[in-house]
Amino acid sequence: MIRFERVSVTYPDTHRPVLADLSFTISEGELCLLAGGTGAGKSTLLRAVNGLVPHFTGGTLHGRVLVEGRDTRTHPPRELADVVGVVGQDPLNGFVTDTVEEELAYTMEQLAIPAPVMRKRVEETLDLLGIADLRHRPLRTLSGGQQQRVAIGAVLTAHPRILVLDEPTSALDPTAAEDVLAAITRLVHDLGVTALVAEHRLERVVHYADRILFLPGDGTLHDGPPAQILATTPIAPPIVELGRLAGWHPLPLSVRDARRAAGPLRDSLREQASPARATTNGSVAVRARGVVVRYGQLVAVAGVDLDLHAGQVVALMGRNGSGKSSLLWALQGSGPRTAGTVTVAGIDPAAVTPAKARAVVGLVPQTPADLLYHDTVAVECAAADREARRPDGSCAALLATLAEGIEPGQHPRDLSEGQRLALVLAIQLTAAPGVILLDEPTRGLDYTAKHRFAGIVRGMAARGAAVVVATHDVELVATVADRVIFLADGDMVADGPTADVMVASPAFAPQVAKILAPQRWLTVADVAQALRKVPP
Amino acid sequence: MRQLPRVLHPGAWWLWALGLATAASRTTNPIVLTLIAAAAALVVARRRSAAPWALAFRLYVILGAVIIASRLLFRIIFGGGGGAHLLFTLPEVPLPEVAAGIRLFGPVAAEELLAGLYDGLRLATMLVCLGAANALANPKRLLKAVPAALYEAGTAVVVALSVAPQLAESVLRVARARRLRGGAGRGLRALPAILLPVLADALDRSLALAAAMDSRGYARAGATPSRIRAVTGALVVAGLLGVCVGVYGLLDATTPRLIGLPVLAAGLAAAAAGVALGARRVARTRYRPDRWRAAENTVAGCGIGAGALLYLTATVDPAALYPSLYPLAWPQLTVVPTLAALLAAAPAWLAPPPPVERPTTPATVDSRRTAEAVR
């Protein structure tokens, strides 16, 4: 179906090719997982499949990409629309029309498929993806998971033989991600569609994959069955790390396989106490009572009482649209708060000037780039020093502790996701707030960047800050959080130590907890420590 | 006879609304104008859907009221004394010699005020008619009905239309995020802090959209040779230009006769040829195109009929449509304009009702917030 023959891609102004001399074939009906760190060339490879590289992006492509026998050199993306369906990272940006039904029909209209056939395929696709009740809904009003399924449906109606998906679950909560992945596997198994999926959160996808293409980042490619590739890769989901630690062979990829292999491990851990995280030991840094946020008729936060303690990391979880962001913004004082009180360090952050508010509570929003508007990192840092009235160089010094390899002359928009997050975090930390709120910080971060970020968060807490992280990433929560708060429909439905809340929930339990239940282990590092081994 | 709920062809609503607007343009009789506006409002109230654009009608009504109010205000400010029935006198502001002929304030007469009211009411009614069309027909669906030769341009317009709410959303988000950095700087100095992230965001978004459209087959050449496509485009554009010039020539009495009908005919012919040529290349199909059926004829007929009735009355019996101000007289309502207004209101019952939205799951916080903010 897809054949790469000695493909190299070089973008202008770079000295080193993104992909170097790759040759591989993906045959019909394979679900292929494309893994690799940020900047390793995952998107480039995906886009080369339907000719967006180099027709759309520019750059030079050596070698040949054949898709169902069509050469992408002579076929621009639009002429491949009938064989390759591409779903981008942010589905909302790729929508052309404005209602679900029209979006599903759009590709077919371009392909001149007769009207009766179109009608039938739209109905079939609505059912296949379970979105029939959304057919007349405007696309902008859908939740993230629904949008992602519509985006997949919109390319499916053309009956492409190949489906290319770029991080289909990165913005989704675990349950919505399951829905989307289930839809993809169903297509592969029932219709024999060939799927090529790039994903950072391997733990979500790896057990569905037939094969992994791993891009280490030097332009080369490792290609093989998942268990074999993951045995040696530097990035691996927790299940694989646990497998490596316990020396299981072959490496289990699904929780079921791992549980079957984990009997001896559970026995050897039975005598060990799972490590307890810090509980309420610090002083109360934020006291919120009866916080209500409403937008017209919609109640986003329905009267939340909350105490945040210094030195504690709190994870705020809940499905898309459950009020996590609204709560964070209300706590910071910049967002709307319809009722209730918030007291931080003796003041109400909504009642003082923004400059004073950020000196007590710092918030890193979902799109950190919104805060950046200068040409270079150095100017950005200097501006942050002025805004926070700190001595020159404070922000730059902070940034150096959070991330390495950032040149002062770089443009903030040219940084990688992880570096940009570090920059915005440094800017917010320059004001030295005692409370840090992070809204969905790990979106788009690879495992390496995420490990780094987890270290930063623990470091902030160790220095006495109260940290709140709103996230969908259960593995991150397992790694960093002392306490988990679960929101649903604006209400707090669970609040307790991480182990208590996470282990009890089937959807939100981290992989290690699922494998070692009923014992309460959350991360591979904890297990490794208990076994007195160094973590892999 | 109960009609099946369905969406009417947007063209039908537009023809109906233009008919009503034509009718309104032919009269200054406040009773007739009020009837026409009421007819439009009645149809909107009974036949609009729950879609967001349907809410725009209120805006048009408000705008109409503003027009009337400003007309009256102008009459009061710039001399309203031309009439026998003096209502009140405001202290006049003396102006220098240069401004001779202009008077500020002074006596205000009923005739002048009524003239302003009639004039404003006419304009407001026409505006309300257009607003009704906007509320009843999805403006984007009208764009979808453009001939195949204009398809690419139509899509571009649709995309451009959806950019506006996205930009508004970006601006709100970035402005809010700015407070997180202390919100330093006001006015012009704050501009780059908002503008740069918004523009960068818009650029990223457009690139993503362009890539998505490209990979989904937009502007596929198919088997059409590029020369034929160029000819089609040229014919259509030239034809439309011809139509515009021709219509202008027809309506403006001062232009030479030659620019009127002949140019219009030539333009129509060129456009038709282009459209026919474009339709021959079957490189694209339409999903559920709006069809023109009996109900569309009825609705369009009602509007055009109302317009035609008043058009005829204006030539036969102008007194009924232009109530006398000098001497001041009560406006009369005669039979024909009444019939026209009834005809205009008929689609409230004759048009099929809009499809009922099934209850769906509530929208997410983000999208609601956006909708709220954009509104």
pLDDT in tens, chain A (536 residues): 899 999 999 988 888 888 999 999 999 999 999 998 887 888 899 999 989 988 888 889 999 999 999 999 998 898 899 999 999 888 888 888 878 998 999 999 888 899 999 999 999 999 888 888 888 888 888 888 888 889 999 988 998 999 999 988 887 888 888 888 988 998 899 889 999 999 888 888 998 999 999 998 888 899 999 989 988 888 888 999 999 988 888 889 999 999 999 988 888 888 777 776 656 567 889 999 999 999 888 889 999 999 999 999 999 998 888 889 999 999 999 889 999 999 998 899 999 988 899 999 999 998 888 888 888 999 999 989 988 888 988 999 989 888 888 888 888 888 888 888 999 999 999 998 999 999 989 887 888 888 889 999 999 999 889 999 999 889 999 999 999 999 998 999 999 888 888 887 787 889 999 998 888 888 898 888 888 754 54
pLDDT of residue B132: 93
Which pLDDT score, from 0 to 100, does residue B372 have? 46
Q: Indicate if the pLDDT at residue B365 is higher than 60.
A: no
Structure confidence at residue B282 (pLDDT): 54
Third-level CATH fold of A28-55+76-229:
Rossmann fold (3.40.50)
- Hey, which residues 126-145 in chain A have their CB within 8 Å of chain B? 133-134, 136-138, 140-144
Based on its alpha-carbon atoms, the radius of gyration of chain B, rounded to whole angstroms, reads 26
B-chain CB neighbours of A137 within 8 Å are 360
Residue pair A36/A202 in contact by the 8 Å Cβ criterion: no
How many Å separate Cα B303 from the centre of its chain? 15
Q: Is A221 on the interface with B (CB under 8 A)?
A: no
**Looking at residues B187-211, what average pLDDT do you find?**
82
Whether A112 sits inside 8 A of B222 (CB atoms) is yes
CB contact under 8 A, B221 and A82: no
- The token pair at B22 is 């034509």
Residue of B143, B163, B282, B365 for testing the chain A interface, max A β-carbons within 10 Å: B365
Q: Which CATH class is domain A284-489?
A: alpha beta
User: Is the peptide bond preceding residue B197 cis, with omega within 30 degrees of 0?
Assistant: no
Q: Give the count of domains, chain B.
A: 3
A106 touches chain B (CB under 8 A): yes
Helices (H) and strands (E) in chain B, counts: 14, 2
Domain A28-55+76-229 and domain A284-489, same fold? Reply is yes
What is the least distance, in Å, from the CA of A531 to any CA of chain B?
Answer: 44
Q: Which of B182, B284, B369 sits opposite A355 (nearest CB)?
A: B182
Of A50, A138, A320, the CB nearest to B215: A50
pTM: 0.79
The CB-based long-range contact list for A125-130 (8 Å cut-off, 24+ gap) reads A125/A153, A125/A156, A125/A157, A126/A100, A126/A153, A128/A153, A128/A156, A128/A183, A128/A186, A128/A187, A129/A153, A129/A156, A129/A183, A130/A179, A130/A183
- B83 and B215 share a domain? no
**Does residue B364 have a pLDDT over 70?**
no
Integer Cα distance of A387 and A369 in angstroms = 17
Interface test mutation site (partner A, options B215, B288, B361, max chain A beta carbons within 10 A): B215
Confidence of residue B281 (pLDDT cuts 50, 70, 90): low
> Which residues on B lie below 8 Å from A292 (Cβ)?
none
Same domain, B211 and B344: no
CA distance B249 to B247: 5
Q: Do B99 and B41 share a structural domain?
A: yes
**3-state SS assignment for residue A283:** coil
Residues of B in contact with A373 (CB under 8 A): 192-193, 196-197
**Chain A closest-CA separation from residue B67 CA (Å):** 30
Domain range holding B251?
Answer: 223-288
Selected residue with higher pLDDT from B109 and B148 = B109
CA B205, CA B211: separation in Å to the nearest integer?
10
Interface test with B, best of A46, A47, A93 (most B CBs within 10 A): A93
Q: What is the DSSP letter of A11?
A: -
Nearest to A464 by CA among A281, A272, A306: A281
Note whether B218 contacts A110, CB cutoff 8 Å.
yes
Chain A CA closest to residue B51: A138
* Cβ <8 Å between B216 and A155: yes
Residues B123 and B107 in one domain: yes
Same domain (yes/no): B270, B361: no
How much is the pLDDT for B149?
Answer: 66
Residue A103 to residues A92, A127, A153, Cα–Cα distance (Å):
11, 15, 9
Of the residues B263, B288, B313, the one at which a domain ends: B288
Last residue of a domain, one of B185, B219, B253: B219
Give the nearest partner residue to B357 out of A47, A136, A384, using CB atoms: A136
**Pair (B100, B36) in one structural domain:** yes
Task: Report how many Cβ contacts below 8 Å link chain A to chain B.
Answer: 206
Query: Do A142 and B363 count as a contact with CB atoms less than 8 A apart?
Result: yes
Cβ–Cβ below 8 Å for A358 and B213:
no
Does residue B248 share a domain with residue B362? no
**What's the CA gap between B150 and B164, in Å, rounded?**
22
Tell me, what's the pLDDT at B358?
A: 55
| Interchain CB distance below 8 Å, A332 and B370 | no
Identity of the residue in B158, B177, B214 whose CB atom sits nearest the CB atom of A78: B214
Pair (B81, B112) in one structural domain: yes
Q: Cα separation of A527 and B211, whole Å?
A: 45
Nearest Cα neighbor of A524 from A239, A210, A316 is: A239
The minimal CB distance from B287 to the residues A108, A298, A365 is found for A108
Is residue B282 domain-shared with residue B310, that is, in the same domain?
no
A517 close contact with B: CB closer than 8 A: no
Instruction: Out of B219, B252, B268, pick the residue that ends a domain.
Output: B219
Whether residues B126 and B150 fall in one domain: no
Q: pLDDT for B62-121, tens place per residue?
A: 999 999 999 999 888 887 667 778 888 888 877 777 776 777 888 888 888 898 999 999
Contact B216 A109 (CB under 8 A): no
Interface list for A 29-68 with B (CB within 8 A): 47, 50, 52, 55-56
Interface ipTM > 0.90: no
- In total, chain B counts a number of residues equal to 375
Per-residue pLDDT band at B369 (split at 50, 70, 90): very low
What is the distance between the alpha carbons of residues B71 and B262, in angstroms, rounded to a whole number? 39
Integer Cα distance of A5 and B29 in angstroms: 79
**By the 8 A CB rule, do B148 and B278 touch?**
yes
* Best residue of A298, A319, A436, A437 to probe chain B, by most B CBs closer than 10 Å: A298
pLDDT higher than 50, residue B360:
no
- Nearest CA among A38, A144, A155 for reference residue A104: A155
Residues of chain A found within 8 Å of residue B358, distances taken between Cβ atoms: 133, 136
Name the residue of chain B whose CA is nearest to A151's CA. B212
Residues of A in contact with B289 (CB under 8 A): 115
Query: Nearest C-alpha of chain B: how many angstroms from A366?
Result: 10
Interface contact A413-B200, CB threshold 8 A: yes
| B287/A102 touch (CB, cutoff 8 Å), yes or no | yes
- B366:A93 CB<8 A: no
Q: Are residue B233 and residue B299 in the same domain, yes or no?
A: no
Terminus-to-terminus CA distance in chain B, angstroms? 38
Residue B273 pLDDT = 83
Q: Please tell me whether residues B5 and B131 are part of one structural domain.
A: yes
**What are the extents of the domains in chain A?**
28-55+76-229, 284-489
For residue A105, give how far its alpha carbon lies from the nearest alpha carbon of chain B (Å).
Answer: 6
